[in-house]
Chains A and B, each alone.
Chain A
Amino acid sequence: MSTYIAKRILLIVPTLLGAAALVFLIMRVIPGDVALLIFGGDAGGHIDPKQLAAMRQRLGLDQPLWVQFGTWLWGVLRFDFGTSLWTGRPVVEELLIRLPLSLELALAATTVSVIIAIPFGMLAAIRQDTWVDYLVRVVSIGGLAIPSFWVGILCILLLVIFFGWGPPLEFTPPWVNPWANFQMMIWPVLTVGYRYAAVTTRMTRSTVLEVLREDYIRTAWAKGLRERAVVIRHALKNAMLPVITLIGTEFAFLIGGLVVTETVFTLNGVGRFVVDAVAHRDYPVVQALIFLTAFSFVIVNLLVDLTYAWFDPRIRYR
């Protein structure tokens, strides 16, 4: 087991390097650079080529690409992700403002989706082709078909129109004021949770249905076991492996992938930060965030793989 974990951790290095190099190159290929944006302004500025060159030099953009990449990588090794070219502030400092919010949203939305998806997916499978199954399928297909940002806008409008109330516009960490935090976070958590619950419900239903047709389940029924024992003890645990993989991937995605939902609910999260950084050609920020997102994906996947062993004791890692 420990050898397996060590191997997996070692594999993280080339994965992250690959992701970093790819993003570095893509950011340099697309037109526009941050110096021009700084000088360009909203309505057009007075761009003196000398000033532009000086700005590029100050930002280190005049260096050859391999030097820029090397410098950045050397910084990462020392846990220094550089300074934002757009704001002039350390990337880590900017990230720390946004990370608690994104983590809270990802955790809460994943929890909500799991709470909804597992029981309802299971119920739909064991009551296949009844009205319960149809209802679960309709609601979950609705969740898949309707974008969560649209549900979010609808949710805000309904609150405003019918109750004259809207969610707070500023994030308050739960340890500062849990009630204010709840008032703000509950809506995005529910809308995003619903979307991901829909995906997970469909997956749970399919896998439970598949398992229910296995011989050992028939044997369990034949032994005269009660429904609860058959479903929970024998079917569910075995059906969970693909569902866990899905939940893990969703969680990693939720940390930085909720750009539009964050915009709709005025959440100052990591997703919006990445998109703004791309728009500003803020290379160090984009590189750092993609690097960290890749890192979180790799770690979550490792944890998911390790969880497999608990669900299926036949799995042994070497």
Chain B
Amino acid sequence: MAVGIRCHRTLITVVALAVLVALATPAGVQAAEAPRRGGTLLAVIGADPPSLDPHQESTFATLQLVAPLYSTLLQSDPYAYPKIIGDAASEWKISPDALTYTFKIRQGIKFHDGSALTATDVKATYDKLVFPPEGVRSVRQNAYSAVTSIEAPDPSTLVFKLKHASASLLDNLASPWNVIYPKKYLDKDPNYFKANVVGSGPFKFKSYTRGSTFEGERNPDYFVKDRPYLNGYKFFISTETSVRAAAIRSGRAYIEFRDLPNADVEAIKKQLGDKVTVQQTPMTGQFGIAFNNTVKPFTDVRVRKALTLGLDRYTAGKVLFPLAGLRDVGALMRPGTEWALPEAELQKLPGFGKDMEKNRAEARRLLAEAGYPNGFKVVLKNRNVKLPYQDFAVFAIQEWRRIGIEADHRPLETAAWFADGRDTGNFELIVLPTVEASDDPDLFLRRYTTGDTQNWGRFTDPGIDDLFSRQARALDTAERKKLIQQIQKSVLEKVYYMPGLWWSRNVVHWAKVKNYVAPPNHYANQKLQDVWLAED
């Protein structure tokens, strides 16, 4: 009898533990089900890529299509963003002075043309990224300004030498954009991969019809045993949001990796019920407004302060979230991350206090003090993209009217938004988002330093430059955090830039798509090596 009771108790304990483990496991990993092999993942995407070379592009339209075809040196953990794990690198060592990073390159990785991937290929790839040859664009080159040389002493060893410590280096080496190319093609033509694909990823390139479809097929020689599960993947390109949503509803596509508006998501859920899954994640990006700090009246900090005080971000979050996914109020680093300003600190900054009547009164007082007691007229340039650019601008303009600012909304097509606005400085105010592939502070904060190519507000503040340079070298997280908070406070107290709201996204997919965990941006975790389909 005693034995019976003991068995019973043991059974209860085992069951309870199993339930606890199941509850504690992230949704995507909840794969007690055995992965099924086969099938083609059908996806819809909202844009056609300008080229196929992620080193030279900054649009998801390039990355989502080709990421499954390539390996990277490191990567963010598909199940646990922002943890960094190896991909082509199996392990790495950092010297005590943090000036030398040594990576062990896995043996047995093959490119799709049959040749072996060695440290020489990784070196050639990073040489192209960090020291691009004449006529080759490398959009993320500034992220590696600490690197002085890259060496490959033997086929399985890669060494990065730095001129100073770089707290962000590992993050940047895990960038999904830095796909590894075979050296022999780069030697022939550094622009070869704009139109061609030779990778070593879980899938091989199959076909691409511009404006229509992009397909990859299973790589049987992939270095991770038994992966990928899928036979292939296929993207359908459609620029119309309602068409992409309808494609999911009709089952013509199983997933949209970027974002669908809440209204479409609700309609899909209503029709398909538990046949679909919606992963709502925050986004490593926010939409804000840049002042041209070199033109009047925005050379006057009182005017800039008045404009940020006049925007009710907390109401904006409620209004714009269902329309455009803009939701969270935050400073220059994403709310909820270790780098974010604490709520109490944030609310002390101009425009972030919750008493809007007080904010508006202060805005009017500042405008009067600056010589604009009746407000003024201004042009707000924008990109003619509805979600969320225009929705956000319309809200801001209505808000500013209440403090006497009449902003003329001028949406421009992308080419003009670059050439007649952002890139040439021909603007007073311009809607400018900051969206990155990770929460790395270097990526987000470099744009507030003097002369940075993304310092669209065109301001100079030696204090911020110094803080940035110190945080970039700070290996102690607590110290770095303090410096990062100081940068955010400096930018926001002097209102060089005006953050609006942080974005969120809805990744909608059929429930039969398994093992995909949406990270907080539409760039990471796109290799699809672990994704499988429960049915075709």
Name A's B-contacting residues (CB within 8 A).
30-33, 36-48, 51, 54-55, 58, 86-89, 94, 97-98, 153, 156-157, 159-161, 164-171, 263-266, 268, 272-273, 276, 279-281
Contact = CB atoms under 8 A, between A and B. Distances in A.
B294 interface: no
Given A153-B242, A165-B250, A279-B413, A47 B57 contact: no
Contacts of B250: 159-160, 164-166
Contacts of B410: none
B414 interface: yes
Contacts of A36: 415, 418-419, 423
A94 to B, nearest CB: 7
B50 A86 contact: yes
A37 B414 contact: yes
A276 B48 contact: yes
A100 to B, nearest CB: 12
Interface stretch (B98-106, B204-212, B224-232, B394-402): B204-212
A239 B397 CA distance: 56
A170 B237 CA distance: 9
B263 to A, nearest CB: 13
Interface string B264-280: 00000001000000000
Contact of A94 (B141, B210, B247): B210
B139 interface: yes
B163 interface: no
B195 A88 contact: yes
Given A30-B416, A40-B423, A169-B213, 9 more contacts: A38-B50, A45-B58, A46-B138, A46-B140, A87-B50, A88-B51, A170-B212, A264-B242, A268-B210
B194 interface: yes
A3 B413 CA distance: 48
A252 B135 CA distance: 41
Q: How large, as a class, is the contact surface on chain B?
A: 35 or more
B210 A38 contact: no
B173 interface: no
Nearest to B270: A161
Contacts of A33: 415, 419
A162 B416 CA distance: 42
B511 to A, nearest CB: 15
B135 A54 contact: yes
Contacts of B239: 263
Nearest to B57: A41
Contacts of A86: 50
Contacts, number: 154
B247 A169 contact: yes
Contacts of A167: 252
B1 to A, nearest CB: 58
B299 interface: no
Closest 5 CB pairs of A and B: A166-B250, A32-B415, A41-B58, A32-B419, A169-B236
Interface in B214-245: 236-240, 242-243
B59 A41 contact: yes
A44 B58 contact: yes
A306 B437 CA distance: 61
A55 B236 CA distance: 31
B139 A89 contact: no
B271 A44 contact: no
Contact of A54 (B59, B134, B418): B134
B315 interface: no
B146 to A, nearest CB: 16
Contact of B252 (A97, A168, A264, A268): A168
Nearest to A265: B243
B253 interface: yes
B235 to A, nearest CB: 10
A87 B58 contact: no
B458 interface: no
B112 interface: no
Contact of A89 (B59, B195, B238, B240): B195
Contacts of A171: 212
Contacts of A159: 250
Contacts of B240: 263-264, 266
B246 A166 contact: yes
